[in-house]
C-alpha cells in the first residue's frame, strides 16, 4: 500500500503544471528582464520603485513570477510575537501597490548572497528602502529571501520571503557585503 502511494505521488509530482491564472500567459515578457538572476532581481526592484504619484508597471511585475508565486512578509508584532503575511502577487499589488504609488518608494539591493543547484537558485538580497530616490538615509532595511527557477528559457521568481531590520534584529555583517 505504501509503495503504491509513493508511486502515485511521484507520478503526480512530474505531471505538467498548468497555469492557474491565464493573465500571466497573456502578458508579453521583456526577455532582458528574465535573462539572468541579476536581471530579474534588478527588474523586481525597478518595478516596485518610483516617486509619489507614479503608477507602477504591474503588468511587468506579473511577468517576473510564476502564476503560483507567493510573497511573504514576516516580523515582530506590537505584542512581541512573530507574525507573517502570505500573499499572491495579485494580493501584493492590491495591498501594497496603492501605498507605494501614493507615498513614493525606492528599494535597492545593497548586497547579495546567492546559491544555485541546477535550475534552482536562492538569493539573500539585502535591501534599503527610501521614500525619495535622493533621500540620504533609508527609512527601512532588510533581507529579501528570493527563490528562482530556470525553465530552460528564462528565469522566474517562485517566492519572496522578507523581514525588515529592527534594533533588536540588525542585519548581520555577512549580508551587508
Own/partner pairs, 99-102, CB within 8 angstroms, 24+ separation: 100/48, 100/50, 100/56, 101/50, 101/52, 101/53, 101/54, 101/55, 101/56, 102/52, 102/53
Query: pTM, whole model, 2 decimals?
Result: 0.85
Q: 14 pLDDT exceeds 60?
A: no
d(CA 156, CA 151): 8
| Domain spans of the chain, in order of start | 25-175
Domain 25-175 has CATH 3.10.450.50: yes
pLDDT for res 27: 77
Average pLDDT over residues 96-123: 97
What value does the mean pLDDT take over residues 100-111? 97
Summarised one tens digit per residue, pLDDT across range 138-166 is 999 999 999 999 999 999 999 999 999 99
Backbone angles phi, psi at 155, to 5 degrees: -90, 150
Cell of 154: 528564462
| Share above pLDDT 90 across residues of the chain, in percent, rounded to a whole number | 82
Amino acid at each position: 500500500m505504501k509503495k503504491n502511494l509513493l508511486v502515485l505521488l511521484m507520478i503526480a509530482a512530474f505531471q505538467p503544471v498548468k497555469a492557474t491564472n491565464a493573465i500571466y500567459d497573456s502578458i508579453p515578457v521583456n526577455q532582458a528582464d528574465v535573462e539572468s538572476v541579476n536581471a530579474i532581481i534588478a527588474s523586481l526592484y525597478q518595478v516596485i520603485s518610483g516617486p509619489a504619484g507614479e503608477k507602477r508597471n504591474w503588468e511587468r511585475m506579473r511577468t517576473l513570477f510564476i502564476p503560483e508565486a507567493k510573497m511573504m512578509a514576516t516580523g515582530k508584532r506590537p505584542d512581541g510575537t512573530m507574525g507573517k503575511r502570505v500573499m499572491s502577487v495579485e494580493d501584493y499589488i492590491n495591498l501594497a501597490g496603492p501605498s507605494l504609488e501614493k507615498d513614493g518608494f525606492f528599494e535597492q539591493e545593497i548586497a547579495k548572497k546567492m546559491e544555485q543547484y541546477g535550475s534552482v537558485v536562492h538569493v539573500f538580497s539585502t535591501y534599503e528602502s527610501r521614500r525619495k530616490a535622493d533621500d540620504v538615509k533609508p527609512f527601512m532595511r532588510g533581507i529579501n529571501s528570493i527563490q528562482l527557477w530556470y525553465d530552460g528559457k528564462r528565469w522566474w521568481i517562485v517566492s519572496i520571503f522578507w523581514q525588515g531590520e529592527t534594533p533588536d534584529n540588525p542585519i548581520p555583517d555577512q549580508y551587508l557585503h
